[in-house]
Amino acid sequence: MKLGSASSFRGVALGAWAALFAFGCSNPPAQPDAATDASGSDIANESSVVDASDGGSDVADATLDAPSDAGRPPWLEPWSPGPRARPPAGFLWGSATAGYQIEGQLSNTDWSIWEQMGRVTNNDRADDGPQSYTRWMEDVRALRETGQNSYRFGVEWARLFPTRASWEQCRNATGDNAAKIATCRAAASAEGKQYYHQLIDALRSSTPRIVPMVTVHHWVMPDYIADPRMDFRSQGWMNARMRTDMALYAGVVAAEYGDKVDWYVTINEPLVLVLAGYLDGRFPPGRQLEIDGAINVIGNLVYAHAGMYDAIKANDRTVAEMTGGPITPAQASYVSIAHHIRRIYPANAASAADMRAATRADWLNHGLFFDAIVRGNFDANGDGTIGAGEPSNDPALRGRADYLGINYYGMTAIRSIPAIPVVGGLPVPEEQDRGLPKTDFGWDILPRGFEDILVRFGNEYRLPILVTENGIADSADANRPRFLYEHIAAMLSARQRGANILGYYHWSTIDNFEWVGGYCPHFGLYSVDFNNPMRPRTGRPSAMIYRDIIRSGEVTDAQLAMVAPYRNPTRFCPGTVTLAPDAGR
């Protein structure tokens, strides 16, 4: 089936897909009365692995979960982390941020225009955030104080190439790769380049060293590449030129910083970018149910990633971290995407139809992109098969992941709606009370899902894994301590079960600009006082818990038993603003 074919159902179908990531909601979530903690049996016997070893074909036949007994949904089965493997030498313990979410002074971007268009809760502005462009030393101090040995941060395209003229100079450069990259580096803003150099230098000269991990693209584009006030069809990721533009930009980043950097994320959460930008309209360009557009953008993202991967390999030939890393012998670069993976369940585990719908949703959100960049099998129309004319074992795509970058935040339950083609179901709304503890964002807290997906993706793709994000919106810091203990224990348990996990980055180092959620959700290990002109960062109690876990390299049964149970959140942060149907043009 061709996804883009005219059909009265297709909007609904992709709407379902979009809603998978419909973080936040308009009503406060219902809360279970009782505080919840983790107790009970191990999950080692649970069947939760989708067999995508056929490269994604006929994924609808795979089974996500065996029906649970006594009508209890599988996410409520008792769970506690099993035996836990200690992290290997050189394990990367860090936290993550994104340029636009912390830096400020990026008023030349699609997101700054988005803010002016009134698309962010409370009309919050990124410029009023942690202002790390001038206060980055405070972020490094927070990393040091907590003993983190790695930091994932973004390098902003609009910072290095603030004007159309500077980018055109780079894009139009001639000669071989070395000549072009040299022209680009000369065209880039000296101040912009220096900003990241000083940050990276401060990280690397810390004792012990803080290993930099660079995200090349975390959603934000210069305004001359994507202006959400203009016709979306020629803008940003809709434009096939992004494939070469992003590869060129990644090459410049690798050439500029490669002698100090080995770890790269090319694109943060490509599918969230598609879902939020083209299907539910929360992010620029604000399109809703733009199905053909979404398909087009996925193709551009997949090929852009492959180009970025190649450009980083070509332009970073220096091993920056000679010793002490998690991989021996060390390489000049480790490159992947950071993929947003949710633990997807059938809404009713006893329903074969829900099971099929959940498996389809799982493929579209998770398998499709990984299969393209690991195996070279690209399901370009999203129908679950690699059909005639679709890339299969394609050398232009396969082998473009040195590790699997996984961002994990929680679960999604899918209910079958057979009338909806392609996806065949809809997610149960996020805010629904599923008997699980909630975050300030209304998301369910589910450490068992973390263990499941780490074991599953480790098995499926046989690549090392980096947890590139995992965190909780919790301004009271009431639930983060238990969240940290349980999720890190779940990760170490997954290691024990065979997942080759090389690092963990908590989201986030500091409170920051949470996209359309503005400054309501607080994800930071460190709080930021946004009312104080100095924007002081203060370690939350959970920051010290993270420090102690890093020091000891373990989570003990005693710690799990002692930490306070989850409480109902004291605030609720809607993840979206109400949209006019055709807003964003």
Interface with ligand BGC (CB under 6 A): 98, 101, 268-269, 272, 340, 407, 469, 507, 514, 523
The least distance separating ligand BGC from the CB of residue 98, rounded to whole angstroms, comes to 5
* Contact assessment for residue 262 and residue 333, using Cβ atoms and an 8 Å cutoff: yes
Q: Which is nearer to ligand BGC, 504 or 523 (CB)?
A: 523
Q: Provide the 8-state DSSP code for 229.
A: T
Give the C-alpha separation, 412 to 427, whole Å: 7
Q: Which is nearer to ligand BGC, 346 or 471 (CB)?
A: 471
| DSSP secondary structure of 50-86 | ---TTTTTTGGG--S-PPPGGG--GGGS-----S-PP
In degrees and rounded to multiples of 5, residue 215 shows phi and psi of -95, 120
Cβ within 8 Å of residue 438, ≥6 positions away? 29, 31, 444, 445, 568, 569
Q: Which is nearer to ligand BGC, 237 or 507 (CB)?
A: 507
Q: How far is CA 387 from CA 63, 228, 411, in A?
A: 22, 34, 30
* Contact assessment for residue 17 and residue 365, using Cβ atoms and an 8 Å cutoff: yes
Q: Which is nearer to ligand BGC, 283 or 345 (CB)?
A: 283
The least distance separating ligand BGC from the CB of residue 7, rounded to whole angstroms, comes to 30
The least distance separating ligand BGC from the CB of residue 369, rounded to whole angstroms, comes to 15
Cβ within 8 Å of residue 159, ≥6 positions away? 99, 103, 106, 189, 192, 195, 196
The least distance separating ligand BGC from the CB of residue 395, rounded to whole angstroms, comes to 30
Q: In terms of C-beta distances under 8 Å and separation of at least 24 residues, what long-range contacts does 527-533 make, across chains too?
A: 527/475, 527/477, 528/129, 528/130, 530/128, 530/129, 530/130
Q: Which is nearer to ligand BGC, 24 or 367 (CB)?
A: 24
The least distance separating ligand BGC from the CB of residue 342, rounded to whole angstroms, comes to 10
| DSSP secondary structure of 110-162 | HHHHHHHTT-SGGG--GGGS--HHHHHHHHHHHHHHTT--EEEEE--HHHHS-
In degrees and rounded to multiples of 5, residue 162 shows phi and psi of -70, -20
Q: Which is nearer to ligand BGC, 98 or 344 (CB)?
A: 98
Residue 178 CB neighbours (<10 A): 11
Give the C-alpha separation, 551 to 145, whole Å: 12
* Contact assessment for residue 110 and residue 347, using Cβ atoms and an 8 Å cutoff: no
The least distance separating ligand BGC from the CB of residue 120, rounded to whole angstroms, comes to 13
The least distance separating ligand BGC from the CB of residue 179, rounded to whole angstroms, comes to 35
Q: Which is nearer to ligand BGC, 125 or 241 (CB)?
A: 125
| DSSP secondary structure of 201-221 | HHHHTSSS--EEEEEEESS--
The least distance separating ligand BGC from the CB of residue 268, rounded to whole angstroms, comes to 5
Q: Which is nearer to ligand BGC, 161 or 519 (CB)?
A: 519
The pair of three-digit structure tokens given for residue 76, joined into one six-digit string = 């409520």
Give the C-alpha separation, 357 to 363, whole Å: 10
Q: Which is nearer to ligand BGC, 21 or 167 (CB)?
A: 21
The least distance separating ligand BGC from the CB of residue 328, rounded to whole angstroms, comes to 30
Q: Which is nearer to ligand BGC, 262 or 269 (CB)?
A: 269
Q: In terms of C-beta distances under 8 Å and separation of at least 24 residues, what long-range contacts does 526-529 make, across chains too?
A: 526/142, 527/475, 527/477, 528/129, 528/130
The least distance separating ligand BGC from the CB of residue 219, rounded to whole angstroms, comes to 7
The least distance separating ligand BGC from the CB of residue 157, rounded to whole angstroms, comes to 16
Among residues 434, 444, 409, the alpha carbon closest in space to that of 566 is found at 444
What value, to the nearest 5°, has the Cα angle with vertex 356 and ends 351 and 358? 95
The least distance separating ligand BGC from the CB of residue 468, rounded to whole angstroms, comes to 8
The pair of three-digit structure tokens given for residue 192, joined into one six-digit string = 């912009």
Q: Which is nearer to ligand BGC, 101 or 108 (CB)?
A: 101
Q: Which is nearer to ligand BGC, 346 or 437 (CB)?
A: 437
